Amino acid sequence: MAQRYDLIVFDWDGTVMDSTAVIAGSIQAACRDLDLSVPSDEAARHVIGMGLVQALRHAVPDAPEAMYAPLVERYRHHFLAQDEAIPLFEGARELIAELHGAGYQLAVATGKSRAGLDRALQSSGMGQYFHALRTADVTHSKPHPAMLLEIMGELDIEPERVLMVGDTTHDLQMALNAGVDALGMTHGAHPVDELRALQPLALLGDFAELRAWLATNA
């Protein structure tokens, strides 16, 4: 079968790295530190994938404007205390290395900051596999299509040759906005029904299922 895609773009948190619980917990802990209303687990998970300030504005909409800067600081305090211990999802390292070896171009489009993504790539040893990176502090946050459009421009690849892999509606909506195909991973932050509503090519529960789908369809 001819190769269908030249570029596969991965979200990071909740897709490649099993960080959903740490991110949501860090948002909630930051709110407790500052005596702000604490978002539910569902609300804290929903904003994963957005840029940090945008995410906090959505998760804690009743916070006074002056509180968002200290809220960012407290979130980072809690997250950075744990981030080096956050594991990749089982099979992620092996599949991404396999795709790289097979000649696919690979990229990351994430709501993390560039510094945060650099730390994650270094601690996980995964940086060697990716040809392009986009983060929410260097371009528009998801679901704006800029991350994908910029990656496609950098690597000179047309939208019909691109596949986005993500665990949130922000990822899937970004793919729709950029005119590229997408797969939804159900092991991350957003419920299956919400992902299904955005009509990804498939919904996959883990990297074994992703490998099987790619072997047949990509």
Q: Which of 13, 167, 171, 181 is catalytic?
A: 13
Domain boundary among 48, 65, 84: 84
pTM (two decimals)? 0.94
Q: Is residue 179 part of a domain?
A: yes
Looking at the structure of the chain, the number of domains it has is 2
Q: Is residue 91 part of a domain?
A: yes
13 an active-site residue? yes
CATH number of the domain that residue 32 is part of: 1.10.150
Beta-bridged to residue 182, according to DSSP, are 164
- What averages of pLDDT result for each successive group of 10 residues across the chain (218 residues)? 89 96 96 96 94 93 94 96 93 98 97 94 96 96 97 98 97 98 96 97 98 95
Residue 112 CA: distances (Å) to CA of 19, 29, 139, 198, 209: 12, 18, 11, 23, 26
Domain boundary among 33, 62, 84: 84
- Other Cβ atoms less than 10 A from the Cβ of 12: the count is 25
Q: Same domain, yes or no, for 189 and 136?
A: yes
11 an active-site residue? yes
* Per-residue DSSP letter, 181: E
Q: Same domain, yes or no, for 77 and 150?
A: no
What token pair was written down for 164? 């986005």
* pLDDT of res. 1: 54
CATH number of the domain that residue 11 is part of: 3.40.50.1000
Alpha helices by DSSP H, listed for 81-206, are 92-101, 114-124, 146-155, 169-178, 192-196
Parent domain of 125 = 7-19+87-217
Q: Same domain, yes or no, for 182 and 153?
A: yes
Q: Which residues contact 103 (CB under 8 A, 6 or more apart)?
A: none
* pLDDT of res. 83: 87
Q: Is residue 162 part of a domain?
A: yes
> CA 14, CA 86: separation in Å to the nearest integer?
11
